[in-house]
A and B are shown apart, each in its own frame.
Chain A
Amino acid sequence: AQSVDQPDAHVTLSEGASLELRCSYSYSAAPYLFWYVQYPGQSLQFLLKYITGDTVVKGTKGFEAEFRKSNSSFNLKKSPAHWSDSAKYFCALEDTEGADRLTFGKGTQLIIQP
């Protein structure tokens, strides 16, 4: 069975710093990988996805992520971070062998201090 791990439950940074949120996965085949963001009081919004091809994918709001097959990671990055980036970020994996559903990590709560 597939799984997604986001090892950092909380990350706190100063505005202007570079942010990198970690995500690793366990899956036997080639995965489809996603990042979603949840702002306080809101539902999840799509940021970006990796399906195939270029291992660095760019998304909305200035975010990008790099797929690394060698260590099964899909880390989310942005520089510089802005206080409005404060939110909870979820990494997710889609089963590519027919199930279609997304398996989510537990999420990383990001706080950007002004």
Chain B
Amino acid sequence: NAGVIQTPRHKVTGKGQEATLWCEPISGHSAVFWYRQTIVQGLEFLTYFRNQAPIDDSGMPKERFSAQMPNQSHSTLKIQSTQPQDSAVYLCASSLHSQNTLYFGAGTRLSVL
């Protein structure tokens, strides 16, 4: 079991460019979560899928952020027209079901110059 896999580990983009972050959850886990971690804001919930269906995207900045889970083995977080304030560590986590432990990936550190 390789755990939750996130790629790339680091991504540098110029202001206005697009960034796509990838997450492979643990096999058999039905829930996938995306969080963003910054020094100032801490851990912020972005969005959540259960059995590939989007359940809650209340934390997503609506205009430029989107997330998909086209199959049970991966999810993507896309940020269009990246801005310096998008710089953060983006964490993906999966769990068997609610009330259960979240297993976090190592994260993708996004730097927008």
Interface residues of A (CB under 8 A from B): 32, 34, 36, 42-46, 49, 51, 90, 94, 99-107
Number of A-B contacts (CB under 8 A): 48
Bound-state Cα–Cα, A65 to B33, Å:
25
Q: Separation in Å of the A10 CB from the closest CB of chain B?
A: 13
Q: Is the CB of B106 within 8 A of A99?
A: no
Q: Separation in Å of the B92 CB from the closest CB of chain A?
A: 10
Q: Separation in Å of the A37 CB from the closest CB of chain B?
A: 11
Bound-state Cα–Cα, A49 to B104, Å:
16
Q: Separation in Å of the A64 CB from the closest CB of chain B?
A: 17
Q: Is the CB of B42 within 8 A of A104?
A: yes
Interface residues of B (CB under 8 A from A): 31, 33, 35, 42-43, 45, 48, 50, 55-56, 59, 91, 93, 98-99, 101-107
Bound-state Cα–Cα, A42 to B103, Å:
13
Interface of chain A: mostly helix, strand, loop or mixed: strand
Select from chain A the residue with minimum beta-carbon distance to B93. A44
Determine which of A34, A44, A94 lies in contact with B91 in the assembled complex, contact meaning CB atoms within 8 Å.
Answer: A44
Q: Which residues of B contact A102 (CB under 8 A)?
A: 33, 45, 102
Contact of A49 with B101 at beta-carbon distance under 8 Å, contacts A90-B43, A105-B42 already known: yes
